[in-house]
Amino acid sequence: MIEARSARDLADATSLRLTEESARLHQVNAFLEEILSSPDPRYGGREIRVVDALERARERITGRFGDDPKIETTLRMTLGRTLYGLGLFEEARVHQERAVALVDDAYPDHLLFRARARHQLAESLVRVNRRSEAAALYEESLGVLGDASSETRAGVLSLAGSLAAARGDFDAGVARMREALALSRTLPSPHFEHAHCLIRLGRHLTHAEVELAEGEALVREALSVYREILEEENPMILEARSVLAQNALQQGRIAEACEELTELSATMREQLGPSHADLFITLACLGRTWLALNEVDKAREISREVLGLLESQTSAHDPRIAASLANLAMVLRRTGDDEGCEAAYARAIEIQVANFGERNRNTALLRANYAVFLIQVKRYAEAEEELDVALAAQLELYGENHPRSAETMNSKGFMLFRQKQFTAALPWFRRALASWRASLPEGHERLTNALYLNATCEWKTGAPELGAEHLRECLEIQSNLPTPPIQRAATQNLLAGCLTDLGQLDEAGALFEESLPVMTEFYPPGHGALQAALDRRAAYDVAREARGPE
């Protein structure tokens, strides 16, 4: 009888708990429907934006659920997450701070929920430049866990690492995400939390352009786990596919990335709608891909679409607007709109610095890209200032051997090269080449540009033998890639110039015969690159004549 009563009591308690949770869920849904749905013309008489509806929610929620803090906690977290997604970080913070104040009493036994409330607040604090508070809050969220399960600890450690990496503490963040991943591998398979840990780490490695092969493997594994649990068109699967396409683009597999991103963007429009954050990211990446393929009109169309969507749905200081402006700036430069390009860069940098400060990888990248524009329009003193700021941040964030550090070093060399300071440029080009060799796979496409610039400076400073060595390596890499004919012809022509100086005229002559027709067809008469190629051929003709008949 005692056992039967205990079982009945347990069943009654369980039933009561489920009834309470159902009633609570009903109240939450009713409030959200009241606040977030478009108002009926009979009750309010006008259409409002989502941000206006959320402001009404802030006014109405206070004191509404005083007898049940769980409802207010859940609502505050939901509203905070929505405002954060719209780029309204200060408004999100207000709700999230209230949620953190309530959550420990509301959910004393729900450790992951308590930690997640702190995580969400910490994210908003980072975005409003209160980073030290955010870091302290994350340590607090980890302390909340105590002897929590592996699933809970893995989730919070992964989230904490993700935020640390995003705010600039990349190495510490990755270390935490790796710790979380190790824990998640002990969970039963397939497991959502394991997939989440995989994709967070893979995404950060991809976006930071470090360990791209590992990042790709991690995201592929996450995708495999998701596919065991979810339908193919689930947003989590679509996000994983998008990250894989971005990774392919970073590794130089441009055609593969373009095909996948084109298909994904169409699917996301249909499945997620035109305002979903993952669609913005996918479209932005597709725009960069079209630009890499020299499809400037397509890149411009997508860049303007993404910017328009963001500006209509988020605050003016959303970091995603900065990223969109940066993409648009590169397109505008390619179309010759220098004024529009500079305005886009200026606004993007302003937004980025306001959100993250200078010690941030995207801030540094923005400044480095803006400096390239300044070099192109011959504003060298301004370019040097931007490059110095960018490189200082990148060396602190990434170290010497990282593709982005290398890119900025290369830009320093190119700035001097454009001013015909070849001796001063060469050490920067060599430093960039060494950095790329240490951080990229053998035979990577980016090495070709570095090798070509090194060789040009070596030839111009009286070291044609070193130049020839680098150009032969460049041609070997180009032969294994889908290299445009004009790029290969330029490499052949410069190698012919080096070989002319070295007296290897037979090989030089064959290279001139192969390269000059391509360059003559590609460049208009009088173009600088074509004239330089013709000058090298003229020097070869003089050398051949001086040597006399064989």
Global confidence as pTM = 0.71
Q: How far is CA 160 from CA 149, 175, 522, in A?
A: 16, 10, 52
Ranges of H-type helices in 185-313: 192-207, 212-229, 235-250, 254-272, 277-292, 296-313
Burial class (CB in 10 A: 0-12, 13-18, 19+), 418: middle
For domain 442-550, give the CATH superfamily: Tetratricopeptide repeat domain (1.25.40.10)
Assess whether the previous peptide bond of 464 is cis (omega < 30° from 0): no
> Quick one: pLDDT at residue 156?
78
What is the share, in percent, of the chain residues with pLDDT greater than 90?
A: 50
Whether 20 has a pLDDT exceeding 70, the answer reads: no
Q: How many CB atoms lie within 10 A of CB 200?
A: 23
Backbone phi, then psi, for 222, in 5-degree steps?
A: -60, -45
Spatial distance between the Cα atoms of 416 and 352, rounded to a whole number of angstroms:
28
- Is 91:60 a contact under the CB 8 Å cutoff? no
Confidence of residue 129 (pLDDT cuts 50, 70, 90): low
> Quick one: pLDDT at residue 29?
53
Q: Is the dihedral of CA 235, 81, 190, 18 positive or negative?
A: negative
Spatial distance between the Cα atoms of 135 and 164, rounded to a whole number of angstroms:
8
> Quick one: pLDDT at residue 4?
40
Type and span of the H or E element at 488: helix 485-501
> Quick one: pLDDT at residue 48?
43
More confidently predicted of 201 and 270: 201
Structure tokens of 519?
């360059």
Q: How far is CA 458 from CA 423, 424, 451, 487, in A?
A: 9, 11, 10, 19
Whether 483 has a pLDDT exceeding 60, the answer reads: yes
Burial class (CB in 10 A: 0-12, 13-18, 19+), 275: middle
More confidently predicted of 470 and 30: 470
Burial class (CB in 10 A: 0-12, 13-18, 19+), 522: middle
Which stretch of 270-279, 466-475, 534-543 has the lowest confidence by average pLDDT?
270-279
Contacts of 42 (CB under 8 A, 6+ apart): none
Confidence of residue 236 (pLDDT cuts 50, 70, 90): confident
Whether 499 has a pLDDT exceeding 70, the answer reads: yes
- Is 158:180 a contact under the CB 8 Å cutoff? yes
Angle between helix 50-61 and helix 89-106 axes, rounded to 10 deg: 40
Q: How far is CA 161 from CA 158, 179, 434, 453, in A?
A: 5, 9, 30, 38
- Is 96:133 a contact under the CB 8 Å cutoff? no
> Quick one: pLDDT at residue 152?
75
> Quick one: pLDDT at residue 145?
66
> Quick one: pLDDT at residue 64?
55
Identify the CA nearest to 513 among candidates 541, 542, 532: 541
DSSP state letters, 301-313: HHHHHHHHHHHHH
Q: Is the dihedral of CA 33, 34, 39, 42 positive or negative?
A: positive
- Is 164:136 a contact under the CB 8 Å cutoff? no
- Is 154:183 a contact under the CB 8 Å cutoff? yes
What is the share, in percent, of the chain residues with pLDDT greater than 70?
A: 85
Q: Which amino acid is at 387?
A: L
